[in-house]
Chain A
Amino acid sequence: MSLLKIFDISGSAISSQSQRLNVVASNLANVDTVAGPDGKQYKAREVTFQTVMMATGDGAPAAGVKVSKISEDQAPGRKVHDPSNPSADADGYVTYSNVNAVDEMVNMISASRSYQNNIEVMNTAKNLLMKTLQMGQG
């Protein structure tokens, strides 16, 4: 039954998108941090999606999604001249994280739109299935 497989496909997509939203949240939270977990500047993280082929029993492919890797942005952090800050270096510069808030907002909107799309796909599949269950009764 192909319609049942839609829940697996869209389910994998919403779990991947929520992971992406999770990463965006931690990036945005750390937009002004000076030090990350390793003591150096926090580096913006980004997820990469990958297609997973799911077995359907009848040989036809079903394309789900997974997060294949979470990579760190290696760009240098934002430097601000602030000699009075205790974390300033010898030249008086404080290095903040390299998170770009605008990029992250765009990423967030894209993730939430994709999430909504997949929810709608699942709702439609559910409606169709319910109507199929009532076949011959109407």
Chain B
Amino acid sequence: MINRLTDSLDFQAQALTLRSERQRIIAGNIANADTPGFVAREMDFASALREATGATAGAGTMAGASVTSPAHIPLTLQSAGALALKYSAPAQTNLDSNTVDMDRERASFVDNSVKYEATLRFINTNVRQMLDAMKSASQG
């Protein structure tokens, strides 16, 4: 029963972890906008989240490391961000072979921070709903 209460919270928590990983990756790209030879990294968020939550639903393990025996130690979500890292294709070539596209990075950054806040709001609403459900009718 308590599992059911926290399952959706677990999912949102993993989404939040991945969002903050992605935020860090984009921050690294923006920091290296003027570094010669730097190759921009990007995370395929949808597949990263699917991998993080899909293997064993809501159990906090990451994909490619599914637990098939009770003796296995499940890998946690900690390094899930590293798992899904890809290289973003350069939109324009650059003389110093830097592939950071600032417009795209800025857009991704804003996109990611808005979605991070959305996930936070989901969590807050979830918590409030649970608290409401626990109240007795007399408490209002």
Contacts and interface: CB of A to CB of B under 8 A. Distances in A.
Given A6-B23, A118-B30, A118-B31, A61 B82 contact: yes
Contact of B23 (A2, A56, A117): A2
Contacts of B102: 117
A65 interface: yes
Interface residues of B, number: 36
Main secondary structure of the interface of B (DSSP, over half): helix
Interface string A1-28: 1110110011011000100100000000
A131 interface: yes
Nearest to A137: B124
B30 A3 contact: no
A49 B34 contact: yes
Contacts of B27: 6, 9-10, 121, 125
Contact of A48 (B21, B36, B113): B36
Q: Which of the four size classes fits the interface of chain A?
A: 35 or more
Contact of B24 (A2, A20, A110): A2
Given A2-B21, A48-B36, A60-B81, A128 B116 contact: yes
A119 B55 CA distance: 38
B62 to A, nearest CB: 12
Interface string A103-138: 000000011001001100100110110011001111
Nearest to B41: A63
B23 A49 contact: no
Given A2-B23, A60-B21, A121 B30 contact: yes
B7 to A, nearest CB: 17
